[in-house]
């Protein structure tokens, strides 16, 4: 999957760079830079996912999932820097009026934009399919990178057509639109990765579902199980659950342990993203 993304981006980056230079289009040159950043993005995502799948070891007893978040952060910084560079060049061209001295874009940038839109949208769906299968935030970020490139090509197409019809400034405006889109995607990726790096709690829907599972377990087993405390946290793409349950204080230790163990297994079987469950048993007050 990653190889297909890299090869596809190499082809598009070279094609759009050639079209931008030969066709005299700033918007298409900006779009080619965006596509070039996709190549680095896919490589970073691949490295992050590969490392995050390593088994826990003595130095990393909780695993390596957060390294995938680190890959997503690198993607966000890469996108942000790309967007700022494109935006600065367009603003400078508009402020100095240098765009007026350039030749009008030719037909080649239009062809390149149309090809890019189709290819990048296909790459978005292809990458997102595997991102969902692997539950990978890095590949999900990479998929949205493809989508942002497809949208930037739409902006480039509008800018080139506008410039060819007597509005040369639209070529620079399209570059600015591409800049804003790239920055928006970068901020979204950064926010998602940062939340997972900071042990952010799961949403209320997930915690409510956990509580309902405990109540269903209680009814099914005929044993009164209360919940004194529940904490969840995201660890990369995985979830850690810490729960304090309440059982009859007169219950034998072995029996209480067996109940907690059964509940532990039910939670891990029900939720594939839950990596670890810690259950503490409190005696119910009489």
pLDDT higher than threshold 80 for residue 165: yes
Do the two domains 2-197 and 204-283 of this chain adopt the same fold? Answer: no
pLDDT reported for residue 64: 63
pLDDT higher than threshold 80 for residue 35: no
- Determine contact, residues 42/4, Cβ cutoff 8 Å: no
Q: In what order do the strands lie in the sheet with 238-247?
A: 226-235, 238-247, 274-283
pLDDT reported for residue 179: 81
List the domain boundaries for the chain.
Answer: 2-197, 204-283
pLDDT reported for residue 279: 93
Instruction: Quickly state the pLDDT bin for 286 (edges 50, 70, 90).
Output: low
Predicted confidence (pLDDT) per residue in 94-125, tens digit = 888 766 666 777 788 888 889 988 988 888 89
Q: Residue with structure tokens 């660890």?
A: 235
Buried/exposed code over 221-235 (b: 16+ C-beta within 10 A; e: otherwise): eebebeeeebebebb
pTM for this prediction: 0.60
Structural element, H or E, at residue 283: strand 274-283
Predicted confidence (pLDDT) per residue in 51-79, tens digit = 666 776 676 666 666 677 777 788 788 77
pLDDT reported for residue 57: 67
CA distance 149 to 233: 33
CATH fold of the domain at 204-283: Alpha-Beta Plaits (3.30.70)
Which among 76, 70, 3 has a CA at the least distance from the CA of 39? 3
Mean pLDDT, the chain, whole residue set? 81
Which range, 134-148, 225-239, 244-258, has the best average confidence (pLDDT)?
A: 244-258
- Determine contact, residues 241/232, Cβ cutoff 8 Å: yes
pLDDT reported for residue 99: 65
Which among 5, 38, 23 has a CA at the least distance from the CA of 106? 23
pLDDT higher than threshold 90 for residue 186: no
pLDDT reported for residue 162: 83
pLDDT reported for residue 63: 61
pLDDT reported for residue 147: 82
pLDDT reported for residue 189: 79
Two tokens at 222? 């005929």
Instruction: Quickly state the pLDDT bin for 260 (edges 50, 70, 90).
Output: very high
CATH fold of the domain at 2-197: Alpha-lytic protease prodomain-like (1.20.1510)
């Amino acid at each position: 999957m990653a190889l297909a993304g890299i090869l596809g981006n190499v082809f598009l980056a070279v094609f759009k760079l050639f079209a931008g230079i030969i066709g005299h289009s700033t918007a298409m040159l900006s779009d080619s830079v965006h596509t070039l950043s996709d190549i680095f993005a896919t490589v970073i995502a691949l490295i992050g996912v590969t490392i995050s799948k390593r088994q826990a070891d003595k130095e990393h007893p909780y695993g390596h999932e957060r390294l995938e978040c680190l890959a997503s952060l690198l993607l966000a910084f890469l996108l942000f820097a790309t967007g700022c560079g494109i935006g600065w060049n367009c603003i400078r061209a508009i402020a100095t009026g240098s765009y007026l001295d350039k030749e009008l874009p030719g037909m080649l940038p239009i062809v390149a934009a149309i090809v890019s839109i189709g290819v990048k949208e296909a790459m978005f769906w292809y990458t997102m399919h595997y991102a969902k299968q692997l539950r990978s935030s890095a590949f999900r970020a990479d998929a949205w990178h493809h989508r942002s490139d497809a949208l930037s090509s739409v902006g480039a197409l509008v800018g080139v057509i506008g410039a060819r019809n007597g509005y040369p400034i639209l070529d620079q405006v399209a570059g600015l639109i591409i800049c804003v889109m790239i920055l928006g995607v970068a901020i979204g990726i950064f926010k998602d990765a940062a939340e997972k790096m900071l042990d952010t709690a799961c949403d209320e829907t997930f915690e409510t579902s956990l509580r309902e599972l405990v109540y269903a377990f209680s009814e099914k087993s005929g044993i009164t199980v209360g919940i004194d405390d529940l904490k969840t946290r995201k660890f990369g793409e995985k979830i850690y659950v810490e729960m304090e349950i309440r059982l009859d204080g007169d219950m034998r230790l072995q029996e209480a342990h067996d109940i907690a163990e059964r509940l532990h297994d039910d939670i891990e079987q029900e939720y594939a993203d839950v990596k670890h469950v810690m259950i503490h048993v409190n005696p119910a007050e009489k």
